[in-house]
């Protein structure tokens, strides 16, 4: 089944200007940004789906939105541990999400995108942890 999954990058855009965000991705040689926000909207200029996909494209980076990977428990973010635990349970019941991400990761250098600057405070950390469990040699790099 194709090449192995060796690495996954994660990135949050909170506190970053679009130009800096793009520079970080290019420096890491990311080829595909996988947006794991359920709703790819942002009040921050340049980070909503259409504007972001255009900016990434102009930087030579592909954009993919995987709505199913979004966190339906965002309203619980006041209790981040509960929020992430609920999301982890959710992933157990939706294995197709990890399967879809795995296919993308096998093909190109991918970064999981969400809002939070700190990966450990974001559901993308749960995703990368599950992917690591599936592929113990997988290296997770938080940008």
Using the predicted structure, report yes or no on whether residue 11 has a pLDDT greater than 80: yes
Q: Residue 44 burial (CB < 10 Å; 0-12/13-18/19+)?
A: middle
The pLDDT tens digits for 85-134 are 999 999 999 999 999 999 999 999 999 999 999 999 999 999 999 999 99
Helices (H), ranges, 2-122 = 18-27, 49-58, 80-93, 95-107
Domains of the chain, start order: 7-142 (3.90.190)
Q: 0.85 exceeded by the pTM?
A: yes
pLDDT, position 1: 38
The pLDDT tens digits for 28-83 are 999 999 999 999 999 999 999 999 999 999 999 999 999 999 999 977 778 999 99
């Amino acid at each position: 089944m194709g090449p192995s999954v060796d690495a996954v990058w994660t990135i949050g855009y909170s506190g970053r200007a679009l130009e800096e965000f793009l520079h970080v991705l290019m420096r890491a040689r990311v080829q595909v940004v996988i947006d794991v926000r359920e709703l790819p909207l942002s009040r921050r200029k340049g980070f909503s789906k259409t504007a972001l996909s255009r900016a990434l494209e102009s930087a030579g980076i592909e954009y993919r939105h995987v709505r199913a990977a979004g966190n339906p428990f965002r309203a619980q973010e006041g209790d981040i541990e509960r929020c992430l635990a609920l999301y982890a349970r959710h992933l157990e019941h939706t294995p197709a999400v990890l399967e879809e991400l795995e296919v993308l990761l096998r093909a190109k250098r991918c970064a999981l995108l969400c809002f939070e600057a700190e990966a450990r405070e974001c559901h993308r950390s749960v995703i990368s942890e599950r992917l690591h469990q599936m592929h113990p040699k997988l290296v997770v790099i938080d940008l």
